[in-house]
Structure 1
Amino acid sequence: MSETRSDGELLAAVAEERDRGAFEELYRRYAPWLTARMRSRCSDAGVVDDVVQETFLAVWRGTARYRETGADAAGWLWRIASRRLVDALRGAGARGRLRQTLARLRHRDEASAEERVLAGVEHGDLAGALVRLSPELRAVLQATVLDGLTTREAAVLLGIPPGTVKTRAMRARKQLREALA
């Protein structure tokens, strides 16, 4: 019976030894979780699958380096995938794919729990207030509130300084309070 290696041991084996077995174990351990979490951010299964594959390719190729600083491997992989998802959605065809996905969601018979909650929000004051926020402020709220990232993690994801994340979050909250008052 083989001994189960920690995430840190697997990542070190991939980075230092290009250990294919360690990589496969890491992939089996985290790919399903990462795929499910990415689908909460993007309903286009093709984009999600590409993002998950690109995330693990970055790990294999060594373009993403894990440093054991108290951060867990899942959070580290999530940050890589989140950045790749943002890049993918910024692509030329992303808006068209998003429109098609939203149209499909509107025509499904049964909505998920998340969609039912969002539909309730969509028709209330909050949805209007969120739509009126600038894309930069919405992105900060999504990263910090919906994804639960820390200020530092959101800064890395969005490619802006942590102070800018704090300022934008403060401005977004202020604008939401004013819009909902």
Structure 2
Amino acid sequence: MDDAALLRSIAAGDREALAALYARHSPWLQVRLRRRCPDDDVVAEALQETFVAAWRGAGRWRGEGDVAAWLWGIGVRRLVDQLARRPRHSPLSDVPDPAVASAEEQVLLGVEHADVAAALNSLSPELHAVVQATVLDGLTTREAARLLHIPQGTVKTRMARARVLLREALS
């Protein structure tokens, strides 16, 4: 069965179709979510919520576009929701514990990511979310606004503010 047929079956209450959709899409979805959040528990929760939303919303899928893109949209929104519930945003770089990491790993991570990651992590959660959505996830202003549940003008304003702060931090 193709993805569209699976969604139609899911809309009719077919749990096996949901299992097939999950088996087909959860591996790549988990990898993409993991790239945006180093916390395995948050990623697992967002992944679970994605497929619960797919189960509940399968009947609303209009058949337009790719099912994988639809799932990704749900998944990244669920991840943002999970991160918004946390008291503090997660650091961008997944730096290993210095006591466990080898000296070579520490040097490579420092050279490769330290300045940019530190600058990004110094942003407020609101600015960080806009940068992540527009720059790292490649969303348009309209898509980022929809994803973050804020007006497009707010996305533009926050991105402008983030640019200023990042320039200051990196200069």
Q: Normalised by the size of structure 2, how large is the TM-score?
A: 0.75
Question: Among 124, 135, 153, which residue is 1:134 paired with?
Answer: 124
Alpha carbons 2:7, 2:59 under 8 Å: kept: no
User: Quick one: structure 1 residues 107 and 37, their matched pair in 2 at CA, closer, same or farther if it must change by over 3 Å?
Assistant: farther
Letter in 2 for 1:120: E
Q: What is the CA-CA distance between 1:105 and the residue it aligns to?
A: 4.4
Identity of aligned residues (%): 52
Q: What is the CA-CA distance between 1:109 and the residue it aligns to?
A: 3.5
Q: What CA RMSD, in Å, does the superposition of the two structures yield over aligned residues? A: 3.3
Q: Normalised by the size of structure 1, how large is the TM-score?
A: 0.71
User: Quick one: structure 1 residues 145 and 19, their matched pair in 2 at CA, closer, same or farther if it must change by over 3 Å?
Assistant: same
Question: Among 24, 33, 38, which residue is 2:33 paired with?
Answer: 38
Aligned equivalent of 1:62: 57
1:78-109 deviation per Cα after TM superposition (whole angstroms, max 9, x unaligned): 222222222223335x659x59xx68544444
Please give the secondary structure, in 2, of the residue aligned with 1:40. Answer: helix
Q: Does 1:29 align with 2:14?
A: no
| Larger RCO, structures 1/2 (Cα 8 Å, 6+ apart) | 2
Q: What is the CA-CA distance between 1:128 and the residue it aligns to?
A: 4.9
User: Quick one: structure 1 residues 164 and 121, their matched pair in 2 at CA, closer, same or farther if it must change by over 3 Å?
Assistant: same
Q: Does 1:88 align with 2:82?
A: yes
1:87-139 deviation per Cα after TM superposition (whole angstroms, max 9, x unaligned): 223335x659x59xx685444447xx9xx5676231x3x44543443332221
Q: Does 1:74 align with 2:74?
A: no
In structure 2, runs of 5+ residues without a counterpart are: none
Letter in 2 for 1:91: R
In structure 1, runs of 5+ residues without a counterpart are: none
Letter in 1 for 2:147: L
